[in-house]
């Protein structure tokens, strides 16, 4: 029997190890991976055992602590130099998800600012990683409440479409876009979730649908190419997605297929919301053209399981993310409230 979503935490510190839900095995198998070395955490992030920008950030924070724990020198300067090397290796695992870089930067700042010997710094790093995890849960709960307040008022119970996975598995335990959906369900404002399958990794089919099913939230799985048809038939009232990185002007990078979903929402006059923590906003980037887009192994699109589905010898292109222009986004929902994309800077004051 699989566990309730409310008891699932994708990243947990337990008995001096990090426990991860292996998302590559869902929905068929609920498996826990225990990690005690930073190199193994880097592999887990890169191979998508852990995924979702907030969850990646939490995992990276613990990964940096594991790296710190493995450094044997007691000399502060040498310790910090080795820690920087671990940090750089972790940064290279997933280039698009800014929460990864944010969490590592916060951990390094603590390392440099903590007075005392190396053991004291290591203790501070573990506490910081635990705080990042706890803060993310509180942040997602706040996002859920703010998102509920901006949903369309009619009809009374809404059909909401979402893309990729933004739930408990993608965060420290509650969800961003799926957190809003969860709040709508608890408040009797939700009729049904329409989950895009999210090719090529099928996060919508394998993870979002699974989370909804565990919590008995009505969910209908559709292929990515069916979203326009469903809107044309009047079956969708709002769209809510997550984000891996948001530029200062509101342009948003999210799982490939998000941009096309926003375009058809605009055509059908359906509100399109992005739900993400403030840590996902990269104010150093002026617009979405500066967001690095990860390209993944073409095997993700030319085969299903062990079966090759394409002719031999053709070329492949497999970007993992696309960028939705701010003009197509109705509002960005954060833990501090919802704003129009062009007004993101107001959330910092």
Catalytic residue IDs: 244
Is the distance from CB of 66 to CB of 54 less than 8 angstroms? no
Give the start-end residues of each E strand in the chain: 11-14, 17-21, 32-35, 158-162, 190-196, 219-222, 238-241, 245-247, 252-255, 272-275, 281-282, 303-304, 307-308, 321-324, 331-334, 337-339
Long-range contacts of 77-81 (CB under 8 A, 24+ apart): 79/118, 79/121, 80/111, 80/112
Burial 210-231 (b: 16+ CB within 10 A, else e): bbbebbebebebbebebbbebb
- Structural tokens at position 274: 């992005």
Give the start-end residues of each E strand in 146-200: 158-162, 190-196
Give the start-end residues of each E strand in 226-271: 238-241, 245-247, 252-255
Q: How far apart are CA 310 and CA 9, in angstroms?
A: 37
Neighbours of 343 (CB within 10 A): 12
- DSSP state at residue 197: -
For residue 219, which of 228, 229, 207, 231 has the smallest C-alpha distance?
A: 207
For residue 162, which of 102, 220, 80, 113 has the smallest C-alpha distance?
A: 220
């Amino acid at each position: 029997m699989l566990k309730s979503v409310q008891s699932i935490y994708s990243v947990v510190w337990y008995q001096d190890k990090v426990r991860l839900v292996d998302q590559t095995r869902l929905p068929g198998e609920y498996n826990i991976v225990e990690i005690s070395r930073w190199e193994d955490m880097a592999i887990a992030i890169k191979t998508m055992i852990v995924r979702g920008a907030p969850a990646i950030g939490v995992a990276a924070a613990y990964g940096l602590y594991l790296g710190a724990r493995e450094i044997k020198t007691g000399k502060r300067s040498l310790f910090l130099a080795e820690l920087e090397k671990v940090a750089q290796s972790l940064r290279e695992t997933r280039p698009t998800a800014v929460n990864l870089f944010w969490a590592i930067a916060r951990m390094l700042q603590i390392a440099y600012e903590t007075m005392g010997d190396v053991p004291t710094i290591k203790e501070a790093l573990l506490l910081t990683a635990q705080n990042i995890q706890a803060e993310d849960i509180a942040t997602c709960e706040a996002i859920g409440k703010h998102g509920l307040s901006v949903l369309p008022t009619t009809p009374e119970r809404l059909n909401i479409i979402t893309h990729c996975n933004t739930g408990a598995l993608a965060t420290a335990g509650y969800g961003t876009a799926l957190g809003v959906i969860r709040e709508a369900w608890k408040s009797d404002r939700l009729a049904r979730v329409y989950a895009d399958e999210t090719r090529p990794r099928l996060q919508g089919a394998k993870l979002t649908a699974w989370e909804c099913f565990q919590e008995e939230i009505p969910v209908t799985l559709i292929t990515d190419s069916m979203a326009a048809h469903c809107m044309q038939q009047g079956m969708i009232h709002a769209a809510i997605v997550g984000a891996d990185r948001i530029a200062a002007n509101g342009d948003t990078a999210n799982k490939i297929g998000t941009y096309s979903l926003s375009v058809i929402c605009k055509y059908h006059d359906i509100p399109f919301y992005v739900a993400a923590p403030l840590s996902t906003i990269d104010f150093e980037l002026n617009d979405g053209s500066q967001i690095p887009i990860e390209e993944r192994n073409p095997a993700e699109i030319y085969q299903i399981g062990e079966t090759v589905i394409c002719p031999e010898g053709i070329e492949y292109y497999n970007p993992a993310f696309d960028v939705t222009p701010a003009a197509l986004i109705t509002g960005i929902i954060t833990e501090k409230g919802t704003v129009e994309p062009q007004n993101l800077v107001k959330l910092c004051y």
